[in-house]
Structure 1
C-alpha cells in the first residue's frame, strides 16, 4: 500500500504525521501549479458542452492591471477527455461591450491542480478606464464581464462609487440583494467575507439547501463554492464590476482563530482543513498571484490606492489573531481579555497597517475588514458588563492602539468598512469610549448580510438596547442588503440599501438611510 500524497490528504482527515510529511510538498506544488506557462499549451478545438457555467469575474484592479477569473466546468472537460489535463483559456479585453475595439488578447493555463480555474493578471491598460472582457475555450464564448482600472496615483478623480457587502448564506435566502447590486453603476465591489458557509444541510426548513456534510476536504469546499457560484444573481454581480475580496470565518470554520478551530479537531487536522479551504478560496476568487496560498497560509492583507482620492487597506482578522478570550462568545471580561499580548491583527499586519496610516496622503483612508470595531457594551443577567469576544471588543488594547495611531498620525478621513454581524450600523470610533465627549477619530459603516439570517426586521429589541447603552452608535437596522459609497474630495455618502424579503425571490430594494461625512470632520451625520 503506497504512502499518501498531499492531494490524498485534501480529501480526508489527516494526522500529525501526515501533515509533517506532506506539508512542504503541498506548498511547493501549489506554487508550481500557478506559474503562467509552466504547462504545455493545450487549446481545445471543441468542447462537449458549455464550459463557463460559473460565469466570469474580475478583481484587485490597479492603474494598469486587472485580474480576470473563470473556472471551467469539469463535465464539459470530461466529455472531450481533458478533465485531467491543463487547458488553455483565451481572453479578450475591449473598450466596448460589443468588442469592436479590442485592446488586449492573451491566454492562461487552467491546470487540473487548481480545478481548471484561472486568475489572469492582464496588464498594459489605461488608468481609470472601463473595459469589457470575455473568455474563449473550444469555440465557446463566456458571458461578458465589465471591469475598471483604478486612477493613476497622481490623479484626483471627481468621484469614486462602490459598494460593500458580506455574509451570503445560501440556505437562509435568495441572493436578491446581489441581483440589485449588479444593476448599480459602480467602480468596484468589496466583499468582506462569509462568501460561503461551511455548515452541513440544516434539518430545519430553509429557503434552499446545502449539499453534503459540513465541508472539510478540498473537494467538499470546491463543491460548496460551485453551488454558490451557480446562482445567477451572484454571477451577475461578479460580471458587473471588479471585486475586492477578503475572507471572514465561514470560508473555513465558524469563529476560527489562527490555528484554533471551533470544535474538537486536532491542530494538525485543522491546518489540513485550512490548507484545503485556502486553496478552494483562491481557486474561486479573482485574486492576484501574490495571494496564492502556501499550504495553510494565504496573503490577503493588501492595499489599493485610487489616485489621491482614496486608499483602502484590506485586512485579515482571522489568520493571525489570538484565540478569542474568556471562552469566547459574549462574556464578561477576564485577565486574558485585557492582556497586551491579545491581538486580532498579528504583529506583521499591525506594523504594516500602522505604517500605512502614518504615511498615507490620500484624502480618504478606508479599512475594509471583517468584524465590528466599535465598542458594544452589553449587560448580562447578573448585571455584569459583557463583550462580544469574536469582534474587536475581544481585543480592546489593540483597538485603542489603532484608533490612537489614526489620531496621532493625523490620518486623513479614516473610515472603517465592516461586515459579519448581519445588521447595519453607523458608529463613531472614539479615543475613549467611556467618555461621550471624547474625540471622534473615525467613522465605521457596518453592512448587513446579503441573505444570512433570512428576512430580518428594521428594528429589534436588542438593537434598541444597544443604541441606548452606547451613545457612539448612531444607527441600527436588521434587514438584508448592502451599502453603497459615493466618495468625492469633499464628501463621503453612504446609502444603506435593504431588501425587506429574501425568503422569496424577486424582492424589491429600498434605501433605508443615508449618512454623510464631510472632509476633515470625522463622524457621520444622517442626511
Structure 2
C-alpha cells in the first residue's frame, strides 16, 4: 500500500465513531470473527483507544491452520462497539460503528472521548451474532490532579515458542490500572528445524512481508492469557527490534538496504494494525522525525500530576551500533580501546528530535510539579562494564553502546531537575535494580535517578546467575541482577513512594506455573536511588 493511502485510511478508520446505514457492510453470520480478542490503550482524562481485529478461520501457524488452511475475511466489515459504566451494559455511555478494512488487516481502532476522568468502563465489539468477551478499561485523572495512587506492571519480550504466558495469569490478579509494554511483543524468527524441548511451537516462516507479520501477531494474540490481560486494563506500548528484525538500527538491518526497508515498512504497519494506539501516531511528513514511513511511537502519557510516562523509541532513530558494518550482525560487546566509534559524541540512541522532546518533557514535569517522571524505554539504561577496571567491555546494543547519548540524557535530568526520575526497561531478559549516576565514568558521582529493568515474559536468557552476579560486583550501582526467571515487574506509586516488586515465573514451560516474588524495592520521594525491602 502507498504510504499516503495507509495514513488516510488508518486516520479515517480510527477517528470515525458513526457510520450512516448506507455505508455499513453486509453482515456475516455464524462466524467466530473475534478470535484475537480485544485491547485498549493510550488512556487520557476523557477517553482511550479500543482495538480489535477480525479473523475468519484457524490461527496462522497452528496445526489446525496447517491442516485446514485459513479463510480470509473478504472486503470491509462494519463492527459495532459499545462502552458502558456497568458490566451488564445497562448504562451505555458511548456506542458506534467502525470499519474493519482489508487494507489495515481488518483491524479496528476506535478513539473514544467525552468520558469522565479517573473512571473505569466496560466495552465490547459486535458483528452479526459474533460478540467479543466483555473487557474493562479506564480513563486517567485530569492533568492537574495529584492522584493518590496508580498501580501498573511493565513487561517485554514474549517469544511464543520459548515459554507459556503464565506471567499474565498472575498479572491479572495485581489490581492494575494499566500495563506498560516495552517491546518485542512478537519475534520475527521461524522455529529452528529440529529444535528440541520447546514449550510450544509454530509453523510460521521468518517474517518479512506484511502478511507474515500479520500472521505472527495473530498467533501471539490467540494466547488466552495474553488476551485476558489485554481485557483487564489499558496498555501503553512501544516497540523494540523483534517487531522488525533482531538488532536493527533505524534504516540498517542484516540485508541489503532496499530489502530491509521493505521489511521494516511491513513490520511498522503490522505494529499499528495490532496495537491499541492512536491515529496521531501516524506521522504526516518527516519534519525531523526520521524516515518517510515513520510511525511515531514515542509519546507522553500523564496520570494527573502523580506520574508522567515518557515512552521512548530507541530503534527508529538510532545510529548503527558501534563498529558494526551495514548488512552484518552487530558485535556482541565492544571495548573503547578497540572501537573508537563507541565514544563518538555525535552518536545517538534516540535521534536529536526525540532527545530534545524528552528534555523538554522533563523540564515541563518540573514546572507542572509532577511527582514522578517515568522514562519508559526498551532496554537497560545503567552502565554494565563486563571487565574489572581499568579494562572495559560493553554490550553494543544497549545504552552502553551509546555512552555520549546516555550522558546527554543524564545532563538533561540534572538541568531539568524533575522531582523524581525513574527509568523502566526490558530487552535483556533479566531483572535489574540500579542507582542511576550523574556520570557513570565516575563511581563517586551522585545518584540522580533510579532504574528497574524487568525480565522477559517468556523469552529465554542467554546469561547465567554467576555472570549476572559478577557484573553486579563490578558495577556497584547495580543492586540486583538475576537472569534465571521469566516474569514482570509490578509498581505501586503514591505521592510518597515508588514501590517495585519483581515477579518471577517458576517454570515457563508450564502454562499453570506458579509466580513468586524475586525481590522488592522502594524509591522514596525526594531521595533518588533504590532501597531493598526485606530479605528477598
Q: Same fold (TM over 0.5)?
A: yes
2:498 touches 2:523 (CA, 8 Å); kept in 1? Answer: yes
Greater mean deviation of Cα atoms: 316-325 or 499-508: 499-508
Which secondary structure does the structure 2 equivalent of 1:308 belong to? coil
Q: How does 1:441-520 map to 2 (within 5 A)?
A: 441-453=448-460, 460-478=465-483, 479-520=485-526
Q: How does 1:197-346 map to 2 (within 5 A)?
A: 197-203=187-193, 204-205=195-196, 206-261=198-253, 263=254, 265-292=255-282, 296-327=293-324, 328=330, 329-333=332-336, 334-346=339-351
Which secondary structure does the structure 2 equivalent of 1:385 belong to? coil
Structure 1 distance, partners of 2:531, 2:5, is 54
Does residue 522 of the first structure (1) align with residue 531 of the second (2)? no
Structure 2 distance, partners of 1:88, 1:394, is 48
Specify the alignment match of 1:184 in structure 2. 174
After superposition, the C-alpha distances for 1:417-443 in whole angstroms (9 at most, x for unaligned) are: 101000000011101223333110110
Does residue 167 of the first structure (1) align with residue 175 of the second (2)? no
Greater mean deviation of Cα atoms: 214-223 or 94-103: 94-103
Which secondary structure does the structure 2 equivalent of 1:107 belong to? strand
> Could you tell me which of 32, 39, 45 is aligned with 1:57?
39
Aligned residues: 498
Does residue 399 of the first structure (1) align with residue 406 of the second (2)? yes
Structure 1 distance, partners of 2:76, 2:15, is 12
After superposition, the C-alpha distances for 1:283-308 in whole angstroms (9 at most, x for unaligned) are: 11001001236763111011011111
2:432 touches 2:452 (CA, 8 Å); kept in 1? Answer: yes
1:326 touches 1:389 (CA, 8 Å); kept in 2? Answer: no
Structure 2 distance, partners of 1:33, 1:60, is 17
Unaligned runs of 5+ in 2: 59-70, 285-291, 325-329
Q: How does 1:335-414 map to 2 (within 5 A)?
A: 335-360=340-365, 361-379=369-387, 384-414=391-421
Which secondary structure does the structure 2 equivalent of 1:408 belong to? helix
> Could you tell me which of 408, 419, 429 is aligned with 1:422?
429
Shift of 1:55: 0.6
Unaligned runs of 5+ in 1: 1-5, 7-21
Structure 2 distance, partners of 1:341, 1:404, is 15
1:33 touches 1:114 (CA, 8 Å); kept in 2? Answer: no
After superposition, the C-alpha distances for 1:345-375 in whole angstroms (9 at most, x for unaligned) are: 0011011001111121310000111011100
1:130 touches 1:146 (CA, 8 Å); kept in 2? Answer: yes
Which secondary structure does the structure 2 equivalent of 1:240 belong to? coil
Greater mean deviation of Cα atoms: 152-161 or 400-409: 400-409
Specify the alignment match of 2:61 in structure 1. none
Structure 2 distance, partners of 1:124, 1:147, is 15
1:197 touches 1:250 (CA, 8 Å); kept in 2? Answer: yes
Which secondary structure does the structure 2 equivalent of 1:182 belong to? helix
Specify the alignment match of 1:122 in structure 2. 112
Shift of 1:147: 0.4
Greater mean deviation of Cα atoms: 512-521 or 265-274: 265-274
Structure 2 distance, partners of 1:404, 1:523, is 17
Shift of 1:341: 1.2
Specify the alignment match of 2:137 in structure 1. 147
- Give me the TM-score of the superposition, normalised by structure 1: 0.90
Which secondary structure does the structure 2 equivalent of 1:362 belong to? coil
Seen in structure 2, the aligned counterparts of structure 1 residues 485 and 341 have a Cα distance that, compared at 3 Å, is same
1:271 touches 1:296 (CA, 8 Å); kept in 2? Answer: no
CA RMSD, aligned part only?
Answer: 2.2
Which secondary structure does the structure 1 equivalent of 2:86 belong to? coil
1:166 touches 1:191 (CA, 8 Å); kept in 2? Answer: yes
Specify the alignment match of 1:18 in structure 2. none
Shift of 1:75: 3.6
Seen in structure 2, the aligned counterparts of structure 1 residues 24 and 284 have a Cα distance that, compared at 3 Å, is closer
Shift of 1:181: 1.2
Shift of 1:93: 1.0
> Could you tell me which of 66, 77, 80 is aligned with 1:90?
80
After superposition, the C-alpha distances for 1:78-126 in whole angstroms (9 at most, x for unaligned) are: xxx9933221111111112222222111121111111111110001111
Structure 1 distance, partners of 2:299, 2:4, is 25
Does residue 436 of the first structure (1) align with residue 443 of the second (2)? yes
Shift of 1:507: 0.4
Specify the alignment match of 1:10 in structure 2. none
Structure 2 distance, partners of 1:506, 1:515, is 27
Shift of 1:220: 0.4
